[in-house]
Amino acid sequence: MIATIQYNSRKLQIDLSKPLDISIPLRASAANVNAWYLDAPKIEPVKDGGGVATVKDGACVNFNTITFNPHAHGTHTECVGHITERVYSINKNLKQFFFLAEVITVAPENYLKDKVISKKQLQFVLGNKKRDAVVLRTIPNTKDKLTRQYSNTNWPYLLEDALEFLVKKGVKHLLIDTPSIDREKDDCELLGHKAFWNTKGALRMDATITEFIYVPNAVADGTYFLNLQIAPFENDASPSKPILYKVIT
């Protein structure tokens, strides 16, 4: 189904019948993607007395309790409340859910003992494009990103000037396929998060970071319409389900 959408001053045509899901599902498994030194998430039926709340065990419904951490166990979207003393909720601060996005692919560069994404790289792939959202796919891009155990791996991250560049370009929503835009072990400096949310000035309350996405290789770089779906958690972060739609015109 082709839909014509008025977005700011542009008319966009998108095919609603061909959604591209770039989220990683959460499973109760040791193979679930993981970071930050936590155990695997749990999805367990409630046990009441001698009964187990599953239909196969005689209950009338399946009734599970889910234990997980949104930052560690899958695709999640976070707001500035992730790094501030004052509590801010993603549910209260993300009020719009559709954005013009650019999917880009970057090969992280060597920097000291790390792999990083630099301002120069982002300048090269984005050029003069103005987008509300940037979806960043790192390479190599293999399917093991769906199950990778990231703790103590020193994943690629963005340098501070790369985030400052995105802010200056007006990017409000950054999506990336690593557990964090910052270095795994950085002594709590969080330079990227602080730059993106502008903690030295007026906080960018409506800006979000989505981590732990997976963009299949079949999804080409280019312009898409992004539907950024979150669960209504009153928390700094929520599990999320970003969906891309290719812009036809």
CATH for 91: 3.50.30.50
Q: Is 52 part of a structural domain of the chain?
A: no
* Number of separate domains in the chain: 1
Q: Is 53 part of a structural domain of the chain?
A: no
Instruction: Look up residue 165 and give its amino acid.
Output: F
Six token digits for residue 109: 């560069």
pLDDT means over runs of 10, the chain (249 residues): 85 92 97 98 91 92 97 98 97 97 98 97 96 98 98 98 98 98 97 98 97 98 97 98 93
Q: Is 116 part of a structural domain of the chain?
A: yes
Domain containing 222: what range? 2-25+70-246
Q: What is the predicted pLDDT for the residue at 122?
A: 98
At residue 80, φ and ψ (nearest 5 deg) are: -60, -20
Q: What is the predicted pLDDT for the residue at 48?
A: 84
Q: What is the predicted pLDDT for the residue at 248?
A: 87
Q: What is the predicted pLDDT for the residue at 128?
A: 94
pTM over 0.85: yes
d(CA 86, CA 71): 19
In the block, tokens 């060597």 appear at 110
Q: Is 195 part of a structural domain of the chain?
A: yes
d(CA 85, CA 219): 38
Q: Is 39 part of a structural domain of the chain?
A: no
Q: Is 58 part of a structural domain of the chain?
A: no
Q: Is 35 part of a structural domain of the chain?
A: no
Q: What is the predicted pLDDT for the residue at 241?
A: 98
Q: For the chain, what's the residue count? A: 249
Q: Is 148 part of a structural domain of the chain?
A: yes
